[in-house]
Amino acid sequence: MGAYVDLDQSLTLALLAIGALTFFGLLGLAFTSLLEGERRATGLALAAAVAAAALLTLAALAPPSVRLVAGVVVAVGAVVILVLLAVPMGKAERGPDVPQVRVDERTIMFARASLEPGSPEYAAYYAAHPQDMEGDDRTRSLPGIGSPEAAKANRLVFAAMEASFSLTEALREDVDGPVASEKLEIPPEVATHYLRNVARYWGARNVGVAETKSYHVYSHVGRGTGIYGEPITLDHRYALAFTVEMDFHMMGPSPDAPVVMESSRQYVEASKVALQLAWLVRSLGYVARAHIDGNYRVIAPLVARDAGLGEIGRMGLLMTPDLGPRVRLGVVTTDLPLVPDGRIVDPSVLDFCAICEKCADNCPSRSIPRGDREMVAGALRWRINPDTCFRYWNSLGTDCGRCMAVCPYSHPDTVLHDIVRYANRRSGFARRATLRLDDVFYGRKPAARPAPDWIPARGQTIGFLHRTHGRTPEKNAPTL
């Protein structure tokens, strides 16, 4: 009898403890979601917290036989979930994913879009690639990024974008420079350790080293006055790749003007880190070149992937372990001996992308494919349509970024999301379960989150800017 009473009391306490844990866990999720501006997730987590606590409290106060059944159900459920989280099912095969040909930068959309109609470059390009002409002319006929005529035009936000892009443009001149005549001998481990940490100190998030391969390097220059069409030879043996974080809150309103303000800012941040690194290396007596927006000689996502920073996902961007695709990339190539990191042996992202397709479902221009990867230039990958994507940007006047904003890997780097990321790396069951939960908490087609409140919305009166100083908007004030 005494043992039965002890067991009964223990069961009651266990149910109450599990109820409290579940309640506070879900309360934590609600609080985190509130800070992230995720209204739907906040409401659902609060409701789930109350429901879970009520259910388990009722079970704890129920007659002993009910308590026993509830205890067994909770215990078996917990064991099943723990076992499934540890089972490595559903791992995708990486397959052949090394491109067999070099890409000509002249063929990428940014290079094509900057061709001036009537110029010799324009005539030569479309004589060789007539299939691109009609679509590119259509893109050129649209208002364009930053245009006051564009659908998402926002004067103040576009002015900030111009400020950032003009700085990146100025920095493009300084990607290379003279090398110090005296060479400092540094063991590769020491140089790698130092450069990795100094890059982080200057603002990089993740840093990796790859051995430069021919498929990393464009075959011909596609942008740059006077050098357009020149063949590229880059014999730097090592490439240091890094990421900088795109602000979560600025990406929330996508597809809207704050996105291009943020991406232009992060191009500046990546350029600053890359230029300083390259300058530092050259001052030690080794050649080094920074690769920054508008002046790349390498394909940054491929270099970053081979430097162990992540995997290329369905949307064609690098998926990093801690921020998913919500990053911008920078690269420095050099002949300073470094220790390569090599690729991450973790195809869990490929498995997740295979079952997820959330970016494809949310892409307004239908530029992201559903289904399996296909063979492109000898490598397996998802083939996105950069032309329709870029055309959409040119009608909006801003980067879109919807794919980046809705991706389940893009959540902030917080404890709760990190637990999910850890489980996703380990278990195919976790990937399937968390994908469903992501759909439930954030929506299969998530609503855009509001921009930070200091950013004026399109169409707001100029008087809005005075509100924080206690003044009311003037009547007939001009609009943005």
- Rounded to a whole number of angstroms, the minimum distance from the CB of residue 72 to ligand SF4 is 36
Q: Binding residue for ligand SF4 (CB under 6 A) from 263, 367, 398, 427?
A: 367
> Within positions 155 to 214, which residues make up the interface with ligand SF4, using CB under 6 A?
none
How far apart CA 133 and CA 32 sit, in angstroms, is 48
334 versus 365: smaller Cβ distance to ligand SF4 = 365
Distances in Å between the alpha carbon of 132 and those of 117, 222, 384?
A: 13, 15, 16
CA distances from 135 to 121, 210, 299, 391, 399 (A): 17, 36, 24, 9, 19
Closest to 110 in 3D by CA, of 256, 233, 263, 212: 263
**Residues near 275 by beta carbon (within 8 Å), at least 6 away in sequence:** 171, 174, 175, 290, 292
The one among 357, 413, 418, 439 contacting ligand SF4 by CB under 6 A: 357
Q: Candidates 166-174, 200-208, 329-337, 354-362 — which segment interacts with ligand SF4 by CB under 6 A?
A: 354-362
**Cα–Cα distance, 15 to 208 (Å, whole number):** 47
Q: Which of 208, 310, 369, 401 binds ligand SF4 (CB under 6 A)?
A: 401
The rounded distance, in Å, linking the Cα atoms of 432 and 307 is 28
Nearer to ligand SF4, 212 or 348 (CB): 348
Q: Which of 260, 303, 407, 451 binds ligand SF4 (CB under 6 A)?
A: 407
Using the minimum distance from each CB to ligand SF4, give the nearer residue, 49 or 407.
407
Radius of gyration of the chain (CA): 26
Contact 132, 126 (CB under 8 A): yes
Rounded-to-integer distance, Cα 433 and Cα 373, Å: 23
CB of 387 to ligand SF4, least distance (A): 10
C-alpha–C-alpha distance, residues 412 and 247, integer Å: 9
Position 409 contacts ligand SF4 (CB under 6 A) = yes
Contact status: 356 vs ligand SF4 (CB under 6 A): yes
Single-letter amino acid, residue 53: A
Question: Per CB under 6 A, which of residues 205..264 are in contact with ligand SF4?
Answer: 255
Does the footprint of ligand SF4 cover residue 364 (CB under 6 A)? yes
Check residue 342 and report its DSSP letter.
Answer: -
In angstroms, the Cα distances linking 150 to 159, 187, 348 are 14, 53, 39
Q: Does 455 bind ligand SF4 (CB under 6 A)?
A: no
Q: Does 392 bind ligand SF4 (CB under 6 A)?
A: yes
74 binds ligand SF4 (CB under 6 A): no
Rule CB under 6 A: say whether 431 interacts with ligand SF4.
Answer: no
Q: Does 352 bind ligand SF4 (CB under 6 A)?
A: yes
Name the one residue in this structure whose structure tokens are 């950032």.
164
Question: Any contact of residue 315 with ligand SF4 (CB under 6 A)?
Answer: yes
Residue 308 binding ligand SF4, by CB under 6 A: no
- CA 19, distance to chain mean position in Å, is 36
**Residue 408 is a binding residue for ligand SF4 (CB under 6 A):** yes
Stretch that binds ligand SF4, among 75-83, 358-366, 413-421, 443-451 (CB under 6 A): 358-366
Which residue in the set 60, 359, 379, 455 belongs to the binding site for ligand SF4 (CB under 6 A)? 359
Binding region for ligand SF4 (CB under 6 A): 255, 313-315, 352-353, 356-359, 363-365, 367-368, 384, 389, 392, 400-403, 407-409
